[in-house]
Chains A and B, each alone.
Chain A
Amino acid sequence: MGCVVIKERILSAPVDFTDVQGLVRFGYGKMTEACYLLLKIRQPDAARAWLAKAPVTTAEESDPPPVTALQIAFTSQGLNALGVPDGVVAGFSPEFVSGMAGEKNRCRRLGDIGENAPTNWNWGRQDQMPHLMVMLFAAPGGLDGRLQWIRDSSWQSAFEEIACLPTSNLGGREQFGFIDGISQPVIDWKRNRTVPINGDQLIYGNVVSLGEFLLGYSNEYGRYTDRPLLAPTDKSAQILLDAEDAPGKKDLGKNGTYVVFRQLEQDVRGFWKYAKKQSEQGHGKGDEVAEKLLGRRLEDGSPLATLHSTAIEGVGATGRPAAREKDVRLNQFTFDADPNGTECPFGAHLRRGNPRNADIPGNPKGLISHFLALLGFGQKNIRADLTASVRFHRLLRRGREYGPGLAPDQRTVDAPPGDPERGLQFVALNSNIERQFEFVQNAWMMQTKFDGMTEESDPLLGNREAVEGCPFTDSFSIPQDNRARKRLMNMPQFITVRGGAYFFLPGIRALKYLIDAGS
């Protein structure tokens, strides 16, 4: 029965960081310049030659740390173009093989309809599909030189550039003006984590199994996420590492992961004009409305929910004392003490993005109350069990802003002619696209029924598209203590998808295999 917590500890070899692309381990924060080159393969042989000598940055620590980095990821079309056998490509996740815009059902689930529909995308639609992405990072002043260096004659014969997606450094804030990248899962690199297979994790924690972010390792279910496993008789597969879970097989996924890339244009002026108008109508002073929509405070990023007095596993646990202290101040909270959403609205972006709960609500004490909770009894709050088990739905975010920032005093001013596009190059890493990115995007962000609500989607990402049988989908509820809720109405769409694709970010050995497999 689930009440018996069976802990399985998988003792295995440590991670070989020289086989992992560095982006999985580092955000390259000191390299404030970056761009993403979306490429089509012009000549497979030339592409293979270029890829074989590409200086791919690994996750190994070095002293001094590098000042530039280069990472490579492929779409499934890219693997086909490289000549990787179909049977091998078919072993990757179905979402990756089919692609972000590959099925109508996926578009419906991800909210990529209406303005967001792939037919409107600049890239990532069927006729504008990159084969691979080269991600370049550099310390201040270094990117241009890096780009010049990379675009040599062998590059020109190998690739056709669909786009070079820019980024900008807004000093740690995203375009709306809030502090960015505050909350990340802590990856269990040392593989110390024990997960309950038939039992439940009763307390929310921020440490997540390595297998959730890197293929070839056990995940939060204590299982290995599907990926291509090759016979050792395959000559080019001999370079690959052995699969831990399938003796005798070579693991093409090992030390690789999937990159979810979405170019998200942000209507910064629209957002702040709307917030200002709602403030004028008495829904909050100053920046309060915007902070309710986000779930964090504008000035310092602190959460609207009250901090816990006790530690949360994986919060404030690493880094220098100042960094630990900051993490505690920003992340040592759940919504357990805010069951009615009066501190942080249920629909706030932060709360939708991670409802921060364990496998069973209410942290039952003792076997009997745990057993009763398993059978669905004993919850006093009707929302208590609507979302659960967030540990299966975590994302590692590596996104960067693009376009010029807007000074606070410009945010509510009408756009001048030719106002440039600004937004977020959303980059998320996960090893199970369906259970991680697609779940979060669909069930938590887009669904108008999230957490017992109705008629509203994520205040930032929502597309406000009609739902049959619902009068509207563009509201935002702000629960009040012992009062009827306030409700913001007629909220426009603030974020529009401009492009996107699923990529595979291979391990270093796997990259060599992919280069050789089709030659």
Chain B
Amino acid sequence: MKPQSNILVIAPLKPERTADLRDLLASMNFVPGKVNPVNALIPFEQFSQLHVARLVILDDKTLGDMETAYGVAAPSYPAYLAFLADFDGTADNFRADLVRLAKDGLNSIFSCCADFSPAMDLAQWMKAHDNPPATIYVNWAGRTVQQIREENALRLALENHLQENQDAFGSKSAGQAHSALCEFTRAEISAGRLTLTPPPATPVIWWMRNAADLIGVPLILLLLAPFLILYLPFFIFMLRSREKHDMEIAPRPDPADAEQLALIEDYDVTNQFTAMGSLKPGLFRRSTLVFSLWVLNYTTRHIYTRGQLARVPTIHFARWAFIDGKKRLLFASNYDSSLSTYMDDFINKAGFGLNLVFSNGIGYPTSRWLVLDGAKDEQKFKYFLRRHELPTNVWYKAYPGLTAFDLKRNTLIRQGIERANLSGAELQQWVALL
């Protein structure tokens, strides 16, 4: 398989160029929230490996919460530009393609950043400004854009064929229908109307690193176990004493801000979400979050690699990245359905996971024991998220109209087509995918 990678370029803006940058980014959209996939600056559609990408100005309006909650003067940060992309293959290859296909556009975008000049080596500059995520979630490890396109074409062809021959298929058992559709697929492939490219070989280096991580993380945990156990009582004491006093800052978002955010949502079946906030001050929260995200990343890397993150099946790509010396956290995700549905799903299905991470952020609804309550204060949690959300200036997804579940179903359909001897139960399950 060809594993996915990602980039997150973050660079401070020249204050006097922020307005220009907003206009420049807006010019990449048909309307706010709807990108032009072949826009003049970054023609996203020409990147055959690109799944999702976004450009967003990181300007956190909640910095004052530090002072409100902890009486510590709010640090001042410049506004940043963030450029995020998730793609197949390596970051070096992607950056090379960016230089090849979008050099001028990126030069004019990055010229609004404080330490960029078009005379620099663009790829080098992006690499130097890359922020590796603390946790990255990929819905389906190794499923390429090409595979997504081919499998969707396969499904549509099969559905169409079924529809045109509905009477004939009405009398076919699951097994007979499967054979007929396999035969149809073979004929379509040899006629050149369908393609099902076999998965490429997994890069050896990636495989070795992955295996090392698979074994290494539990090994480190095992070695650390005695210390962690000794630390546990202190941890619990510090956690509980903080949880009892940490201030909630989750007022209802300003209606105008909320409308502004909603305006760019719900054009596609998938939506983007970008949010940022500051960690609660002190080493305790920082170390707790670093540890939590490290463990979480292990689960997304080795366990949740096939279509769902715990119980949530609607996320295509998501990431948590520290910025500013782990004083702030950026969260970005690509999810199916509307924001309120997404938040409901998270609260009801994975509230404990949200609490584990976000309760280390300033103002989060009060949690207990790191994983209890918090998000279960439904309205406050929703207010908190909306308040920390940033309007994403440009957002691209390579396969509009397809949800993560669509992609899974299409993959399962293809797997069934490529297997000759399915059992009776498997045949029934397979035919029900159509």
Q: Which of B8-16, B209-217, B307-315, B414-422 contacts A (4 or more CB under 8 A)?
A: B307-315
Closest to A339 in B: B432
Return the chain A residue nearest B181 by Cβ.
A484
Contact: B431 with A94, CB < 8 Å? no
Of B100-108, B162-170, B325-333, the segment with at least 4 beta carbons within 8 Å of chain A is: B162-170
CB contacts under 8 Å to B, within A94-120, are 94, 97-98, 103-106, 108-109
> Which residues of B have CB within 8 Å of A223?
377-379
Residues of B within 8 A of A485 (CB): 162, 431-432, 434
**How far apart sit A468 and B406, CA to CA, in the bound complex (Å)?**
14
Which of these, B269, B378, B379, contacts A467 with CB under 8 Å? B269
B262 & A103 in contact (Cβ 8 Å cutoff): yes
Which one, B19-27, B131-139, B240-248, B394-402, is touching chain A? B394-402
Instruction: List, in ascending order, chain B residues with CB within 8 A of A388's CB.
Output: 311, 345, 348-349
Q: Does A14 sit within 8 A of B, measured CB to CB?
A: no
| Interface presence of A461 (CB below 8 A) | no
User: Is A449's CB under 8 angstroms from B262's CB?
Assistant: no
**With an 8 A cutoff between CB atoms, is B393 at the interface?**
no
User: A359's contact among B172, B177, B348, by CB below 8 Å, is which?
Assistant: B348
The interface residues of chain B lying within 8 Å CB-to-CB of A484 are: 162, 169-170, 172, 174, 177, 431, 434
Q: Which of B338, B351, B405 contacts A386 (CB 8 A)?
A: B405
Q: Which residues of A contact B345 (CB under 8 A)?
A: 388
Instruction: Give Cα A447 to B405, complex, Å.
Output: 13
A442 in complex: contacting residue of B156, B311, B341, CB < 8 Å = B341
A-facing residues in B349-379 (Cβ within 8 Å): 349, 351-352, 371-373, 376-379
Known: A359-B348, A376-B310. A225 touches B379 (CB 8 A): yes
In the complex, chain B residues whose CB is within 8 Å of the CB of A385: 311, 313, 349
Alpha-carbon gap, A469 to B266, bound state (A): 14
Shortest CB distance A231–B (Å): 17
- Decide yes or no whether A23 CB sits under 8 A from chain B: no
B159-194 contact mask (Cβ, 8 Å, vs A): 1 or 0: 100110011011011100100000000000000000
Closest chain B residue to A196 by CB distance? Answer: B376
Asked, given contacts A94-B258, A197-B376, A479-B432, whether A439 binds B341 with beta carbons under 8 Å apart, the answer is yes
User: Which residues on the B side are within 8 Å of A103 (C-beta)?
Assistant: 259, 262-263
Contact, CB under 8 Å: B405 / A105: no
Known contacts A386-B313, A479-B432, A484-B431; is A226 also within 8 Å of B379 by CB?
yes
The verdict on B147 contacting chain A, using a C-beta distance below 8 Å, is no
* Docked complex Cα distance between A282 and B168 (Å): 12
Are A435 and B262 in touch, CB under 8 angstroms? Answer: no
Q: Which of B312, B336, B348, B351 contacts A392 (CB 8 A)?
A: B348
Chain B proximity of A440: nearest CB distance (Å): 11
Is B337 an interface residue, CB under 8 A from the partner?
A: yes
A470–B434 CB distance below 8 A: no
- Taking a contact as CB atoms under 8 Å apart, the answer to whether B376 and A221 are in contact is yes
In the complex, B124 has a CB within 8 A of chain A: no
Query: Is the Cβ of B431 less than 8 Å from the Cβ of A482?
Result: yes
Kindly identify which residue among B266, B344, B400, B403 contacts A109, using a CB–CB cutoff of 8 Å.
B266
**B255 in contact (CB, < 8 A):** yes
B377 touching A221 by the CB < 8 A rule? yes
Interface contact B337-A447, CB-CB below 8 Å? yes
Q: Which residues of B sit under 8 angstroms from A140, Cβ to Cβ?
A: none
* Contact pick for B348, options A105, A197, A389, CB 8 Å: A389
Q: Bits for A464-504, please: 1 = Cβ < 8 Å to B, else 0.
A: 00011111000000011011111101000000000000000
Q: Is the CB of A486 within 8 A of B310?
A: no
Q: Is A354 an interface residue (CB 8 A)?
A: no
Asked whether, in the complex, the Cβ of B269 is within 8 Å of the Cβ of A449, the reply is yes
B402 x A94 contact (CB < 8 A): no
Chain B nearest CB, measured from A315 CB (Å): 23
Q: Does B340 contact A (CB under 8 A)?
A: yes
Cα A105 to Cα B408 with chains together (Å)? 28
Closest to B380 in A: A223
Give the tally of cross-chain contacts (CB within 8 A): 151
Chain B, 117-152, contact with A by CB distance < 8 Å: what is the 0/1 string? 000000000000000000000000000000000000
Give bound CA distance, A138 to B252, whole Å. Answer: 41
Choose one: B162, B258, B265, B412; the contact of A487 (CB below 8 Å): B162
A residues near B159, Cβ cutoff 8 Å? 487
Contact (A449, B405) CB under 8 Å given A105-B265, A382-B412, A484-B162: yes
Q: Which of B263, B269, B336 contacts A105 (CB 8 A)?
A: B263
Q: Please state if A470 and B401 are interface contacts (CB–CB under 8 Å).
A: yes
Chain A positions within 8 Å of B95 at CB level: none
Q: A223-B378, A382-B412, A443-B338 are in contact. Are A468 and B401 (CB under 8 A)?
A: yes
When distances are taken between beta carbons in the complex, the residues of chain A under 8 Å from B340 are 434-435, 438-439
For residue A340, CB closer than 8 A to chain B, the reply is yes
Residue A375, interface by CB 8 Å: yes
Q: Are A376 and B376 in contact (CB under 8 A)?
A: no
Taking CB atoms, residues of chain B closer than 8 Å to A104 are 263
Assess whether B428 is interfacial by the CB under 8 Å rule. yes
Q: Is the CB of B308 within 8 A of A469?
A: no
A211-235 vs B: 1/0 string, CB under 8 Å? Answer: 0000000000101011000000000
List B contacts of A374 (CB < 8 A).
Answer: 310-311, 352
Contact of B172 among A98, A108, A221, A483 (CB under 8 A): A483
Residue of B nearest to A393 (CB): B344
Chain B residues whose C-beta falls within 8 Å of the C-beta of A248 in the assembled complex? none
Which size bracket describes the interface of B in this complex? Answer: 35 or more
> If the complex has contacts A374-B311, A435-B378, are A486 and B371 also in contact, measured as CB distance less than 8 A?
no
Q: A385 vs B314: C-alpha distance in the bound complex, in angstroms? A: 11
Q: Are the C-beta atoms of A435 and B344 separated by less than 8 Å? A: yes
- A198 CB within 8 Å of chain B: yes
Query: When chains A and B are docked, how far (Å) is the Cα of A486 from the Cα of B177?
Result: 13
B267 partner, pick from A108, A389, A452, beta carbons under 8 A: A108
Shortest beta-carbon distance from B394 to chain A in Å: 17
- Say yes or no for A368: interface residue by CB 8 A criterion: no
B175: nearest residue on chain A (CB-CB)?
A482
Contact A468 B400 (CB under 8 A): yes
Given contacts A385-B311, A483-B431, contact A108 B174 (CB under 8 A): no
- Residue of A1, A221, A376 most packed against chain B (CB within 10 A): A376
Bound complex: CA A393 to CA B269 (Å):
21
Q: Residue among B177, B348, B372 with the most chain A CB within 10 A?
A: B348
Q: Which of A393, A467, A483 contacts B401 (CB 8 A)?
A: A467
Q: In the complex the two chains form, is A489's CB within 8 Å of B163's CB? A: yes
Q: A1-B371, A376-B308, A479-B432 are in contact. Are A454 and B378 (CB under 8 A)?
A: no
Shortest C-beta distance, B433 to chain A (Å), equals 8
B residues less than 8 Å from A221 (CB atoms)? 376-378
Residues of B within 8 A of A97 (CB): 255
Is B97 close to A, CB under 8 A?
A: no
Cα A161 to Cα B13 with chains together (Å): 56
Q: Are B348 and A449 in contact (CB under 8 A)?
A: no
Residue of A nearest to B340 (CB): A434
A108 touches B266 (CB 8 A): yes
B180's nearest neighbour on chain A, judged by CB, is A484
* In the complex, chain A residues whose CB is within 8 Å of the CB of B399: 469
Q: B409 interface residue, CB < 8 Å from A?
A: yes
* Chain B residues within 8 Å of A449, by CB: 269, 336-337, 403, 405-406
Give Cα distance in the complex from A393 to B348, angstroms.
12
User: B404: nearest residue on chain A (CB-CB)?
Assistant: A449
Inter-chain CA distance A97–B259, complex, in Å, is 12
Beyond the given A105-B259, A449-B269, please list 15 additional residue pairs across the A-B interface where CB-CB is below 8 A: A1-B371, A90-B255, A109-B266, A340-B428, A385-B349, A389-B348, A392-B348, A435-B378, A438-B340, A448-B269, A449-B337, A469-B399, A479-B432, A484-B162, A485-B431
Can you offer 30 A-B residue contacts whose CB atoms are under 8 A? A104-B263, A105-B262, A105-B263, A106-B262, A108-B267, A109-B338, A197-B373, A198-B372, A223-B378, A225-B379, A226-B379, A282-B167, A340-B432, A359-B348, A375-B311, A388-B349, A389-B349, A392-B348, A435-B344, A439-B341, A443-B337, A443-B341, A447-B337, A469-B401, A479-B432, A480-B170, A482-B428, A483-B172, A484-B162, A487-B162
Closest 3 pairs (CB-CB, A-B): A469-B401, A105-B262, A469-B400
